[in-house]
Chain A
């Protein structure tokens, strides 16, 4: 009121002063009871007025922040999911290099000739990395006559000797890998080879259209 009363002389000259006085006098919201019986009734409030009265720039800033944070979180979840997908495929799928390696290693361990040549507790490992881990087994997937093959190499070591294991797998019509051959070559001056499995004749003959397989001279 004081400011307006100070301003009054200037406002009076222009024609809007009475209007301002009027509005300022009745600016307080007043509630009147509409019914005599109940003493107090709720004041009628306008519900269609938004309570969110922040400036537009701040709203935009907030929304951008929320969107960017959500994006970061979603990207993190996505990356984690992709990594877990790779881990699970490697560890739990029966056609992953890791499972083929496990199965081939078991076959090598159970072969009496290999056990005899290397010495009883035989352990298997892959290529050594710079961090001195040997978990990575080297393998390559290749196509021959339109059929996926996988070749793999890993190492085994017993108490007396060590050897290199060569595995070649071929996908059958259901997409599962079948062993084509599996052999162990001793890693010493003899380079003696033990052929643990050789299904090449059977597997390559079944498809028919394969190239004439080379002569098998098993040593």
Chain B
């Protein structure tokens, strides 16, 4: 832990919106370039033009949708951190579900419930991948050093061996 990092929380919202926008714009660009290419009239140049037009038209929209999702998710995540005074995987899962629910609010309660379920499961999967990776990387270093107890508690915390 370095002393000079600021609190991630309010600033992370902007980071997440931007990252989600980029992700959506690139992914949507690839998707719509292929779709526009296939939907265009015959002829290679026309197909390329159709692909370009589809990308120009659609990929910012998809990026925007992603950015809304990411920004909303991060906002709720930060609110939950503030409310619960704790950072753990539950925050992420709950904010995924809440984001799904809120963004489907105009489609009625059943749609909200379904969307919230999908959001929660999705974020649980993402958290699970993270947990799994830390477990698997921890297994790799199996013959671990035996930690020595600090003989005077609190004296040598900083010299402890590396954690996972």
Q: List residues of A whose CB falls within 8 A of some B CB.
A: 80, 82-84, 86-87, 90-91, 98, 101-102, 105, 109, 121-128, 132-144, 149, 151-153, 155, 164, 166, 168, 181, 183, 185, 187, 191, 193, 195, 198, 200, 213-219
Contacts and interface: CB of A to CB of B under 8 A. Distances in A.
Given A132-B8, A164-B157, A140 B151 contact: no
A132 B131 contact: no
A155 B163 CA distance: 14
A183 B155 CA distance: 11
A142 B3 contact: no
Contact of B87 (A133, A181, A183): A133
Given A183-B153, A187-B3, A87 B89 contact: yes
B164 A140 contact: yes
Given A128-B5, A139-B164, A181-B153, A80 B125 contact: yes
Contacts of A168: 147, 149
Contact of B86 (A83, A102, A142, A195): A102
Interface string B1-19: 1010100100110010000
B153 A198 contact: yes
Nearest to B91: A135
Contacts of A98: 88-89
Contacts of A102: 86, 88
A151 to B, nearest CB: 6
Nearest to A138: B163
**Which 9 A-B pairs have CB atoms at the shortest separation, nearest pair first?**
A193-B154, A138-B163, A83-B128, A87-B128, A123-B85, A132-B8, A125-B87, A214-B151, A132-B12
Given A83-B129, A86-B131, A187 B1 contact: yes
Given A87-B128, A143-B146, 13 more contacts: A82-B132, A87-B89, A124-B87, A125-B86, A132-B11, A135-B130, A136-B130, A137-B88, A140-B147, A140-B161, A142-B146, A151-B163, A168-B147
Contacts of A149: 147
Contacts of B164: 138-140
Contact of B147 (A91, A151, A183, A193): A151
